[in-house]
Amino acid sequence: MSAELMVAFLLLALLAEVLGTLGGFGSSLFFVPLAGFFLEFHAVLGLTALFHVMSNLAKIGLFGKKTDRRILLWLGIPSVLLVIAGAALSPFWSTTGLEMTLAFFLMGLSAWLWIKPEMKMKDTTGRLLGAGAAAGFMAGLVGTGGALRGLAMSALNLEKEVFVATSALIDLGVDGSRAVVYALNGYVRQEDLYLLPGLAIVSVLGSWIGKQLLLKLPQAYFRKLVLGFIFFSGFATFWRLMGW
């Protein structure tokens, strides 16, 4: 990657980190489709997992005391278990069709929840387990399962700092697990590791900027912002897959 492309890559990663922190679901929602313009898909998966581990640690340091332990348990455990299965299957499964389906699902459901703000998912153990399993599996397979978890958590209408802290802790387990599997699959390429120091700086700086913006954002607008970001992620994935 040339110096000019590297600067553009890191600036887009910073934008993804700020927006991911502000939206509460992590940078992969934006980083995966953006990084896809610079690197091939499996390399993006490997780099995303490492980047996310760093950014989640930064968020935990900034928001950790606000964690909802019940949601962390019932949404987090299936996410961590199923991300391993998704990551293990990723070399053998053509993901284009799944990515396109996920893109339409994200756009459709986020638009529906935007139009129907009174809609709220019941906080039952079964629904949390199901949402966590789906989010974890898709995170391992196509790299953007955080969007599904973001939809589930936005439907619970959590307080914004609780949302970010809980999501970051779940993500840390998810990304740590899939990073190991991706490394075994050869997705963490030695020629891409020079990007990690820059991404480490981006993860801390972006998380801090995102927190400052989040503290100024009224709770009433937080859910709409999350849904807007999720819709954008689905559209960006659709745009990339169409090759426009």
pLDDT digits (tens, 9 = 90+) for 2-41: 778 888 888 988 988 888 888 776 677 677 777 877 888 7
What pLDDT score does 66 carry?
Answer: 79
| Contact assessment for residue 51 and residue 144, using Cβ atoms and an 8 Å cutoff | no
| Contact assessment for residue 14 and residue 51, using Cβ atoms and an 8 Å cutoff | no
What pLDDT score does 205 carry?
Answer: 94
* Residue tagged 């994935």 (tokens): 237
What 3-state class would DSSP assign to 38? coil
Burial of 199 (0-12, 13-18, 19+ CB in 10 A): buried
What pLDDT score does 200 carry?
Answer: 92
What pLDDT score does 202 carry?
Answer: 92
Cα gap 19→189, rounded to integer Å: 27
∠ CA 15-29-145, rounded to 5°:
160
| Contact assessment for residue 57 and residue 179, using Cβ atoms and an 8 Å cutoff | no
Give the CA distances from residue 176 to residues 84, 152, 221, in Å, rounded to whole numbers and listed in that order. 10, 22, 31
H/E run at residue 176: helix 160-185
What pLDDT score does 24 carry?
Answer: 72
Count how many Cα atoms sit within 13 Å of the Cα of residue 183 in the half-sphere of its side chain. Answer: 10
The domain tally of the chain equals 1
Q: pTM score, two decimals?
A: 0.73
Q: In the chain, which stretches have pLDDT less than 70?
A: 1, 25-26, 29, 93-95, 117-123, 143-147, 244
Between the two ends of the chain, the Cα-to-Cα distance in Å is 22
Assigned token pair, 169: 């802790």
Per the structure, the complete domain to which residue 184 belongs is given by 3-242
What pLDDT score does 201 carry?
Answer: 93
What pLDDT score does 59 carry?
Answer: 86
What pLDDT score does 208 carry?
Answer: 92
Dihedral (CA of 53, 121, 142, 240) sign: negative
